[in-house]
Chains A and B, each alone.
Chain A
């Protein structure tokens, strides 16, 4: 007896793409664009533009606190943000102290990146940032809430137990470092900048927002939640996700609101030059095409799945 085979309808075919095929396409869609470093037209978000505006407005020689809570699990976004932040701070001779309140790995990751940016500067014959003189690693503070309260009310006492080697190699209290010269409380800090992939930014904002100018560089996942603090004015500027990295890099390349620059954000007052001729387009530029292909793939997957369902229903009804 001849066996009748039911051929799959288009709807059923669309709904039965093997998982392996989907994953293979994802690998190709994300890996291939990584090899292409192209400059894609960009329209910086207002929050990224405000972040850049404030970073470029900090007086040279000032001190900022950088709360670095990211590790390599979010390096796709956080590494690019941290690189861009350090490049801006170093080019503008702004001193900084790095502390971490989240992951025990974070202080080492931050130190490694500072070393890498320093090597990049050395290769170009630029002055390297020296520990004790120009920057400090304050280490890990495991209790974010207590540390935030401590910094808000009595910063010098909160860091009183922290030590670093000075220019002669002798261990000294960090508050005696040139980085904290003239700094008695958190109000004397030019900005408190948080780089994170977690909610640690919120713990800091809730305790410090009325004491110091606060900026945040967060991952795309944390972007929507952090945006509420930007909308309320508690954060003065923020960069969210890979788009935020690319925003920063394009503004570093051609400035913000400068005549002739494609980066025009009318809502942000003032003109802020970039750093032409220097390493500006880095991780964000390298990954932005991958972001495009990944999002297109995601949209395509949702559309295909839904078309499949609609076609299957129609077939069932007929």
Chain B
């Protein structure tokens, strides 16, 4: 590799004028592209979308298969074509990761927009259960206000001031409101919703888990053994029995029948390979689906 001070397009300093110029140009080009796409006849849209999809996917494919530079320093310059492409790809990756983060964040905005539209409409038309829409909208707006208010108050604080601000006696109205809504209500309700699963599990265990076949019996026995191995008291009781039967000698064969050993055998010999096989299957499926999407063989979604 050659040492140099020069950097490529993607390595422009964050916050620099050059980068902002590039961001502005990119935005302008994207806006023009979207406008052009909207004006385009429907039959022409598909090849354009397919091309963009292919180029976007190609980046990650290249990133995966292209040789990567080892121990690259920030001042290194590429010595040949292979290194040029490698450097370009690795410099582009964080920017593309940022773009994908921003695009994904738009989904949150889209979700908020969609919720607002649905519930404001329901409220305006006084449709069924419109009172719940009021609760949702008031909650959403108030948590947004208190959240940003609290955040704004913390800006510019030194770590020492932040430390002081977190003490309960120093809480401001914004902090109090944010804590009440976020920690006191939202988080508590989140936990409560999740805990409801316990009731369904118990009900299902009582009504549905039946030993109707050999396979079901083996499954049930394995599940019981693994569950018992999680319980310190059961493990202690079982270990005492094993010790009484000669397990105090570490070389004794009976030590293989300790709960932790049995559970470990079940997990390592059956559970892990089983899950790995399922994951391989899912991976192959995802690869096939990814290829179909990348090559735009999926016909739906573009109109």
Contacts and interface: CB of A to CB of B under 8 A. Distances in A.
Interface stretch (B35-43, B113-121, B154-162): B154-162
Main secondary structure of the interface of B (DSSP, over half): helix
A146 B105 contact: no
B175 to A, nearest CB: 11
Given A71-B190, A298-B201, A17 B100 contact: no
Contacts, number: 181
A73 B93 contact: no
Nearest to A158: B94
Interface in A218-232: 224-225, 227-228, 231
Contacts of A32: none
Contacts of A309: 210
A314 interface: no
Contacts of B105: 142
A46 B265 CA distance: 13
B235 A41 contact: yes
A73 B98 contact: no
A43 B101 contact: no
Interface stretch (B25-33, B46-54, B268-276, B293-301): B268-276
B17 interface: no
Contact of B198 (A40, A104, A141, A294): A294
B190 A40 contact: no
Interface residues of A, number: 74
Given A298-B205, A305-B207, A224 B275 contact: yes
A161 B94 CA distance: 10
B81 interface: no
Interface string B172-200: 00000000001100111011011100110
B191 A227 contact: no
Nearest to A26: B202
Interface residues of B, number: 72
B14 A173 contact: yes
21 contacts: A22-B203, A23-B199, A26-B199, A40-B233, A41-B236, A43-B232, A71-B187, A72-B191, A104-B108, A141-B101, A142-B104, A143-B100, A153-B94, A154-B93, A157-B95, A167-B158, A169-B161, A288-B232, A291-B231, A295-B228, A295-B231
Interface of B: 11, 14, 60, 63, 68, 90-91, 93-98, 100-101, 103-105, 107-108, 155-163, 166-167, 182-183, 186-188, 190-191, 193-195, 198-199, 201-203, 205-207, 209-211, 220, 224, 227-228, 230-233, 235-236, 239, 260, 264, 267-268, 271-272, 275-276, 279
Task: Return the 9 tightest CB-CB contacts between A and B, nearest first.
Answer: A150-B97, A157-B94, A142-B104, A146-B100, A146-B97, A72-B187, A301-B206, A73-B194, A143-B100
